[in-house]
Structure 1
């Protein structure tokens, strides 16, 4: 197993280019000048991930008004992300990273404790990236339920 990266405030956010649920490639570079909330979740259409994704959807307007763009990232295929977005009315980009390259660059994939077992998998994480492409906040091992409210409080939104 490779050593897991842990990002901290002030570090540059790792660059990425990934397809969204429509197959459109989205990159961090194209979002320069905007603040970004990038969240990594284990699997589309599972209960906890659906809760988190829907809470972000419900908060997109106030977050956008405060200058934040929301992007979700999972290992799911583009087609599954399209079904997820359609099923739950998710209007922000859901990015497909099946080989976990971007997950690993952000430290959102690695060894974790899952119900008492040590496994390798997605570590639910959220990153607040400033308009200059630097990490403002890095949150690892977060709980899905209520997470968006905690992010909004952190950002004063």
Structure 2
């Protein structure tokens, strides 16, 4: 993923059965954050950071979507347990992960795909649908702040 290139399209359901497509977010800032697994320590810290920063992120015009390989039941349980107020996408067939590089490359990508464990990366997409920034190693404890710092002044 290179800043300036068109973001790969996606079409997925979230934990509530709501469909999300890249085109739904045209004209707005969007962050896709890929995480390894629901309800694990690092993933919980990251999700809670986004939850706690949700109002500030929304005020700056950013929508955040989480993406991992688990299904609707796991996502719903994770969101319910921690009061997550944003969508967690179900990535059937790991299509979104492959398009956005969340499996990595080479032999490790095959292993990640087999295990259903994504790399922890976040992709910021601008209102025109282009990659604005890729965060290769998000700080799980302060990820909302990282995202806020990358947005233009409002």
Q: TM-score, with normalisation over the residues of structure 2? A: 0.87
Q: Determine the C-alpha separation between the residues in 2 that align with 1:67 and 1:143.
A: 21
Q: Determine the C-alpha separation between the residues in 1 that align with 2:92 and 2:140.
A: 21
Structure 1 or 2: more helix by fraction:
2
Alpha-carbon spacing, 1:106–1:50, altered in 2? closer, same or farther (3 Å)? same
Q: Determine the C-alpha separation between the residues in 2 that align with 1:155 and 1:29.
A: 20
**Structure 1 equivalent of residue 34 of structure 2:** 40
Q: 5+ residue gaps in structure 2? A: none
SS of residue matched to 1:100: helix
1:35-74 counterparts in 2 under 5 A? 35-74=29-68
**Structure 1 equivalent of residue 150 of structure 2:** 154
Note if contact 2:102-2:118 (Cα within 8 Å) is conserved in structure 1.
yes
Displacement, 1:11? 0.6
Displacement, 1:26? 0.9
Q: 5+ residue gaps in structure 1? A: 1-6
Q: Determine the C-alpha separation between the residues in 1 that align with 2:28 and 2:151.
A: 15
The C-alpha deviation readout for 1:88-123, integer Å capped at 9, x for no partner, is 1011110011421110100011359x9xxxx53411
Q: Determine the C-alpha separation between the residues in 1 that align with 2:3 and 2:86.
A: 24
**Structure 1 equivalent of residue 15 of structure 2:** 21
Q: Determine the C-alpha separation between the residues in 2 that align with 1:148 and 1:62.
A: 9
Paired residue total: 147
Matched, 1:129 2:125: yes
Q: Determine the C-alpha separation between the residues in 1 that align with 2:152 and 2:54.
A: 14
